[in-house]
Structure 1
Amino acid sequence: MYGGLSPAEREAARRQNLLDAAIDTLIAGEKLTVRGLCARTGLTSRYFYENFSSTDELAETAYDTCVAGIAETVSLAFATPHDLPVQIERAMTALVETLEKDPRAGHILFSYRIDNPLISRKRQESTAFFARITAATAGASVQSSVDVGHAAQFVVGGVTQLLSVWLNSDETDSSELDGPAVAGLAATMINALAAQLSEAPTSSSS
Structure 2
Amino acid sequence: MTSGQRRGRWSGVPLEDRQARRRGDLIDAGVQLLGSAGGPALTVRAVCRQANLTERYFYESFTDRDEFVRAAYDDVCQRAMATLMSATTAREAVEGFVALMVDDPVRGRVLLLAPEVEPVLTRSGAEWMPNFIDLLQRTLPTITEITDPVTQHMAATSLLGALTALFTAYLGGRLAATRDQFIDYCVDMLLSRAAIP
Q: Taking structure 1 as the reference length, what is the TM-score of the superposition?
A: 0.74
1:24 to 23, 32, 43: 32
Q: Which has the larger radius of gyration?
A: 1
Q: Could you tell me which runs of 5 or more consecutive residues in structure 2 were left unpaired when the two chains were aligned.
A: 1-5
CA contact (8 A) 1:100 1:179 kept: no
Q: Could you tell me which runs of 5 or more consecutive residues in structure 1 were left unpaired when the two chains were aligned.
A: 81-86, 198-206
Give the match for residue 69 of structure 1: 79
CA distance in structure 1 between the aligned counterparts of 2:56 and 2:186, rounded to whole angstroms: 45
CA distance in structure 1 between the aligned counterparts of 2:7 and 2:58, rounded to whole angstroms: 20
1:108 partner amino acid: V
CA contact (8 A) 1:21 1:37 kept: yes
Higher relative contact order (CA 8 A, sep 6+): 1
CA distance in structure 2 between the aligned counterparts of 1:182 and 1:8, rounded to whole angstroms: 45
CA distance in structure 1 between the aligned counterparts of 2:79 and 2:145, rounded to whole angstroms: 28
Give the match for residue 152 of structure 1: 156
CA contact (8 A) 1:163 1:182 kept: no
After superposition, the Cα gap between the structure-2 partners of 1:35 and 1:100, relative to the gap in structure 1 and judged at 3 Å, is closer
Query: Is 2:176 the counterpart of 1:168?
Result: no
Shift of 1:102: 3.3
Shift of 1:22: 1.5
Calculate the aligned-residue CA RMSD, in Å.
Answer: 2.9
After superposition, the Cα gap between the structure-2 partners of 1:139 and 1:42, relative to the gap in structure 1 and judged at 3 Å, is closer
In the alignment of these two chains, the number of paired residues is 185
Give the match for residue 3 of structure 2: none
User: Kindly, what percent of the aligned residue pairs are identical?
Assistant: 28
Point out 4+ residue stretches in structure 1 off by more than 6 angstroms.
none
1:22 partner amino acid: G
Output aligned runs, 1:43-122, within 5 Å. 43-77=53-87, 80=88, 87-111=89-113, 115-122=117-124
Q: Taking structure 2 as the reference length, what is the TM-score of the superposition?
A: 0.77
After superposition, the Cα gap between the structure-2 partners of 1:95 and 1:143, relative to the gap in structure 1 and judged at 3 Å, is same
Measured against aligned partners, the alpha-carbon deviations of 1:5-62 in whole angstroms (never above 9, x if no partner) come to 4344543443233212212222232353323333444433221110111212211221
